Chain A
Amino acid sequence: MHYEIVDFVIDIVQNSCEAGASLVELRIDEDDEGIGFEVGDNGKGMDALQQARALDPFVTDGIKHPGRKVGLGLPFLQQALEQSGGRLKLESEKGRGTRLSFRFDTRNVDCPPVGDLVGMMVTVLCMPGPGEMLIGRTRGGYSYLLRKSELAEALGNLEEVSNLVLLREYVRSQEEGV
């Protein structure tokens, strides 16, 4: 089980990156009562049966790891949400993409700690796969948008450590606001 909310988000975005998506959108919407996330991609998508099975911890497609009998990413998230009064919605269409929205109730005593949002955004922006990633962040009346293509154009290769350091500073400055 993941410890922080950001770990769940990294896991879900990683799924999108491995689903052959060229575009991944992440929305983070935070207020006094909770924090909501929406992860959308234009990857390979799932039909109704695959969607139901994606939430079953004892099912995996077995393509990447033959013989493996568990797939824990989404079930972990669902469990964490169920035990702390959160909610989750999975929408997907085969061949078109997937959209997962979930919201943690941060007032709930069983809600996991949010964790390092800046580090999470840097991590997902640098994941291999999607050529474009949009991260939209709102907190109360404050908001900003990060665009992977713009950042890659400004910095160059996002896997270079010197660029990772600058990217982190940039995201932190957006997060801290004016």
Chain B
Amino acid sequence: MARMTLDELRAFRDAKRQDLARRDVEGKDIQIVVGMGTCGIAAGAKLTFDALVESIQKRGLENKVLVRQTGCMGLCYVEPTVEVIAPGMPTVIYGKMTKDAADELVQKHLVEGKLLDNHIFDRPAADIVKK
């Protein structure tokens, strides 16, 4: 493959954008935050990051989701950690999110709207248990 120029990149972006605009007009309201501290990286956070991007694209959600990075979230014992902020769902920090679990996260949390019970390590209770 020949080296892509910035102009070609722009053209790809515009084509992609039009394609996406046809499919969906909703804003990007889902955020996925991957912990990229020393602990996360050692546990394979880069692979998780790549797997999330691939999985989101595979399911056609790429215009709804932002994937961001942060440092250590303080849960080094269950790295890689991933925080998911999605409307209509409690904000959750999932632990042990290896690249295989990343695909499950996208399917269950983002597509089916269910929590991954075995991976929750922070922040679900107050949101779920409403009095």
Contact = CB atoms under 8 A, between A and B. Distances in A.
Given A10-B36, A18-B71, A123-B49, A161 B66 contact: yes
B71 A14 contact: yes
A30 B113 CA distance: 46
Nearest to B37: A14
B69 A64 contact: no
B16 to A, nearest CB: 6
A7 B3 contact: no
A14 B63 contact: no
Interface string A49-81: 000000000000000110000001100100000
Contacts of A2: 41-42
Given A162-B20, A166-B16, A173-B4, A157 B46 contact: no
Interface residues of A, number: 45
Contacts of A3: 42, 44
Contacts of B70: 128
Contacts, number: 109
B63 A160 contact: yes
Interface residues of B, number: 38
A24 interface: no
Interface stretch (B50-58, B85-93, B116-124): B50-58
A16 B65 CA distance: 26
B1 A160 contact: no
B111 to A, nearest CB: 14
Contact of A126 (B61, B65, B69): B69
17 contacts: A3-B44, A6-B46, A10-B41, A64-B72, A120-B46, A123-B46, A127-B69, A144-B3, A159-B66, A159-B68, A160-B28, A161-B67, A165-B57, A166-B13, A168-B53, A169-B4, A176-B3
Interface of B: 1-4, 6, 9-10, 12-13, 16-17, 20, 28, 36-39, 41-42, 44, 46, 49-50, 53, 56-57, 61-63, 65-72, 74
Given A14-B36, A151-B6, 20 more contacts: A2-B42, A6-B46, A11-B38, A18-B71, A64-B72, A126-B67, A126-B68, A126-B69, A127-B69, A128-B69, A150-B6, A155-B10, A156-B13, A157-B66, A159-B66, A160-B62, A164-B53, A164-B67, A166-B13, A166-B16
